[in-house]
Structure 1
Amino acid sequence: MLDINYIRNNSDHVKKAVTDKLMNTDIDRLLELDIQIRELTTLVDSLRAERNSLSKQIRDITENEECAIVEKVKAVKGKLLGLEGNLSVMKKEFDDIMLTVPSVPAIEVPIGKDEADNVEIRKWGEMPKFDFIPKDHIQLTEALDLVDIPRAVKFAGSRAYFLKNEGVLLEMAICRFVIDRLVAKGFTPMTVPLMVKESAMRGTGYFPIGYEQAYKLQEDELFLIGTSEVALVSYHQNEILNYDELPKKYAGYSTCFRREAGTYGKDTRGLYRVHQFQKVEQVILCRADDAQAERLHYEILNNTEEILQALELPYRVALACTGEIGIGQVRKHEVETWMPSRNAYCETHSCSTLNDFQARRSNIKYRDKDGMLRFAYTLNNTGVASPRILIPLLEVNQNEDGSVNIPKVLRPYMNNLEKIVPKK
């Protein structure tokens, strides 16, 4: 959420952000409501003061005078009732629009419509060269007995899967490896609630625009999270933090759930796009300092690159264009790992700076050096998400005999197993 004062004074910038992010928020209507609400609030406050003054006079007047004043009080109350009703309707419309106003992208963010307009920053690693016909991750996992999709689909529906045997151990190994790396860098490891109130989804910017992507538990008015970012930011909801305790760095580990609405028929084969997955997420709350936020953005981006380099997986980093960054992001980098079966770099990590967008919605403040209250800035980036990361990990490390080499950094987490071999 943006500061209404900022929107008033920078409406052209905000309108451009709406256009560049391919949204349809009506900023003119928002500003019109803003003026009307302020004017009507002044009138309502004036009538309330008049009503209170007349009510006090009744105690000190004669019976005949009292009747006249009582009639005046009734008239004022009648006016108030109508105006307060109008004010309530206006505020509801105003609040609804405010929740759809996007952050203004940073100056370096390229203008564009989709991922084709993202700007490549760099690549790392050599793409594998096979002297045999490589298998895709489904062929590999079937031969290695690591995944069972058909049995999951028959009772859990599309995009469901079982991980089995070394597949389970591999997922656990890579998540633990990433958590250990982040803890060593000063991140606090956290497991989080998987079910949250609507206020948490709204406060982190996933509602109202992303409502159709979330699973709702109707009877309990709770929602399943699509990332631990929701819980980790909401951890400090309605709090005032101290200047010296910022930045706060969290490494959240959780199961995540996404409906993948609007993707019918897309990426249905394999493990690329599923409804349930495990993820380690980096989340930072920092001071409202653009320079510090930018530095921390590149710090968590570097954490991801170090993880992929340790896994020896080729990847590229791209600066996301305006059409690809979400409502709250002012800057986003996508990290895409090479997947041989798709013959492409595919997104596995997303690094975002949101400035005070989430903190305003979640009411997270801190006291600066002068004791003034300010909204914090937030950032996030994927540490690792599985099973998607298993696709490049298995395909890049496959051998001609169908076995898969385990990256050296993961072997200590898998009882020093060096290779997964086909089952007899």
Structure 2
Amino acid sequence: MLDLRVIREDPERLRASQRARGESEEVVDELLAADRSRRASLSEFERLRAEQKSLGKEIPPAAGEEKQALLARAKELAAAVKAAEAAADDAQQRLDQLAAVPSNIVLDGVPVGGEEDYTVLREVGEIPALEKVRDHLELGEGLGAIDTERGAKVSGSRFYFLTGVGAQLELGLLNLAMNTAVEAGFTPMITPTLVRPEVMAGTGFLGAHADEIYRLERDDLYLVGTSEVPLAGYHADEILDLSRGPLRYAGWSACYRREAGSHGKDTRGIIRVHQFHKVEMFSYCREEDAADEHERLLGWEERMLAAVELPYRVIDVAAGDLGSSAARKFDCEAWLPSQSRWLELTSTSNCTTFQARRLNVRERTETGTRQVATLNGTLGTTRWLVAILENHQRPDGSVAVPQALRPYVGGRDVLEPV
């Protein structure tokens, strides 16, 4: 949800953002018209209500025909006030519906265009020269680490078991991510994976990508695809103290995605799956500090990628490929040897005040209260195993363990096929 005052003062800014995203500009004019209608309706209601109150003071001292006339007028006014109040409520409801339609306003400097129009900011590390390339599933099966066949037998397609060293690697990766976050000053959190509709809507996930989300209709709850959602709702309807800097949380959760519309894409292995685990950073900060906080989140993500010794690149995602809540997003993509392409492992988004406005999260200032900015970024997730296995593979099907993960797999420096 956007600040209506900003839209009134500079509607072209929202129009430009909508164009950059490839979304309709018509909603801007509709929103402004609804805002004018709501203000006019409210003004008429307040005018009639003031007249009604004034008339109420004239009736007691009146007598005879004058009093009867005043009583008749009071009856008319009561009906008019009731009708005006209903009209104002309808106008407010219409405005609220339209205000939830536009995506967040993209920040200056975000590349214009769609999925392929990103800007590469940097590439880090060297792509390995492999004699024989096996994909992560072949490697994982050889190590006794991944079992997709039994995953499908138990739960259906795009499910899997991580077994033996596979389970150890994931737990090690996530513990390393959580330790990294705690050292950086984040509060560790184990979050709920079921949330109420108002929290899911408040984070902006019930828009264009609502088909990605699992819903439990009987309980009217949603399964989260990221702990960003419960962490965004954690301080809903609260006033925060940010005088000592951002509030930072690191959430560990299971995550669920329907992968709607991805039929035929990365169906082999565990690149696109319905359930996975993730450690997600989430930050509440002052709006003017959000850009710097965004760079800090990206820095912690790159620290994790360096720790597991992966070649990667950082891209500035184009406006048309941003989620509705994000005003800017950086993706970190690791090299995927089996497909000779870059694979997104992590992203970090600056959502400015978009989510906080929906969820009513504010901070106290010297002049009152105002909405805070929210940001998120991933420090580790199941998909990272794909890149770790493939980039550290050896010709015999064994896999070298990055130094940072060795304590989590019994000190082994190499995982051997079983």
Q: Secondary structure at the match of 2:287?
A: coil
- In 2, the alpha carbon distance for the partners of 1:72 and 1:383 equals 67
C-alpha contact (below 8 Å) 1:288/1:374 kept by paired residues: no
Residue 396 (structure 2) pairs with residue 382 (structure 1): no
Which of 337, 343, 346 is the aligned partner of 2:343?
346
Matches for 1:97-176 after TM superposition, within 5 Å: 97-114=98-115, 116-131=116-131, 133-176=132-175
Structure 1: which amino acid aligns with 2:229?
Answer: V
- Following superposition, the deviation at residue 192 of structure 1 comes to 0.9
Mean Cα displacement is larger for which, 102-111 or 176-185? 102-111
Q: 1:212 to 1:91 in 2, by over 3 A?
A: farther
Identity %: 37
Which residue in the other structure is 2:199 paired with? 200
The answer as to 2:299 corresponding to 1:298 is no
Q: Which residue of 1 aligns with 2:398?
A: 403
Deviation at 1:49, TM superposition (A): 2.6
Amino acid across the alignment from 1:104: I
- Give 5+ residue unaligned stretches, structure 1: none
Pairwise CA RMSD of aligned residues?
A: 1.9
Q: Show the counterpart of 2:24.
A: 24
The offset of 1:62, in angstroms, is: 4.4
Structure 2 partner of 1:7: 7
Asked if structure 1 preserves the Cα contact closer than 8 Å seen for 2:14 and 2:105, the reply is: yes
Query: For 1:342-367, what per-residue CA distance to the aligned partner results, in whole angstroms no more than 9, with x for missing partners?
Result: 21111111111122112111111112
Give the counterpart letter for 1:381 in structure 2.
Answer: G
Query: Which runs of structure 2 are paired with 1:263-282 in the superposition (5 Å)?
Result: 263-282=262-281
Q: Is the 8 A contact 2:113 2:319 kept in 1?
A: yes
Contact 2:241–2:363 (8 Å) recurs in 1: yes
Alignment of 1:180-219 (within 5 A): 180-219=179-218
- 1:212-361 aligned at under 5 Å gives the runs 212-289=211-288, 292-361=289-358
**CA–CA distance in structure 1, aligned partners of residues 257 and 29 of structure 2:** 34
Q: Which residue identity is paired with 1:393?
A: I
- The worse-fitting range, judged by mean Cα deviation, of 42-51 and 183-192 is 42-51
Counterpart CA distance in 2 for 1:20 and 1:337 is 27
Deviations 1:166-191 (A, max 9, x none): 11111000000111111111111111
What is the identity, as a one-letter code, of the residue corresponding to 1:351?
Answer: T
Contact 1:366/1:373 (<8 A) preserved: yes
Q: CA deviation at 1:66?
A: 5.3
CA distance in 2, matches of 1:49, 1:112: 52
- 1:274-330 Cα offsets, whole Å, 9 max, x none, are 1111111111111121xx322221111111111111111110011111111222222
Q: Shift of the alpha carbon at 1:156? A: 1.7
Whole-Å separation in 2 of the counterparts to 1:68 and 1:264: 73
Question: For 2:211 and 2:60, how far apart are their aligned partners in 1?
Answer: 57
What's the counterpart of residue 92 of structure 1? 93
Relative to structure 2, which stretch is displaced further, 238-247 or 294-303?
A: 238-247
| Gap change, CA 1:343 and 1:41, over 3 Å in 2 | same
Q: Is the contact made by 1:351 and 1:380 (CA closer than 8 Å) also made in structure 2?
A: yes
Q: Could you say what secondary structure the match of 1:277 adopts?
A: strand
Counterpart residue type for residue 9 of structure 1: E
Does the residue aligned with 2:345 lie in a helix, a strand or coil? strand
Q: Is the 8 A contact 2:124 2:312 kept in 1?
A: yes
The equivalent of 1:35 in structure 2 is 36
Shift of 1:55: 4.6
> Is the contact made by 2:207 and 2:324 (CA closer than 8 Å) also made in structure 1?
no
State the number of aligned residues: 417
The alignment partner of 2:351 has SS state of strand
> What's the CA shift for 1:100?
2.0
1:143-202 CA-to-partner distances (Å, cap 9, x unmatched) read 222222222223422211111111111100000011111111111111111111122122
> Does structure 1 retain, via aligned residues, the 8 Å contact 2:281–2:379?
yes
1:39 Cα deviation after fit = 0.8
2: CA distance, partners of 1:90 / 1:213: 32
Match of 1:417 in 2: 412
2-structure distance, mates of 1:321, 1:306: 24
Q: Does 1:80 align with 2:81?
A: yes
Residue 97 of structure 1 and its aligned partner are, at CA, apart by: 1.5
What is the CA–CA distance in structure 1 between the aligned matches of 2:337 and 2:152, rounded to whole Å? 25
SS of the residue 2:273 aligns to:
coil
- TM (norm. structure 2) is 0.94
Q: CA deviation at 1:418?
A: 2.3
Rounded to whole Å, the distance in 2 between the matches of 1:92 and 1:165 is 55
Q: Distance in 1 between matches of 2:412 and 2:213?
A: 38
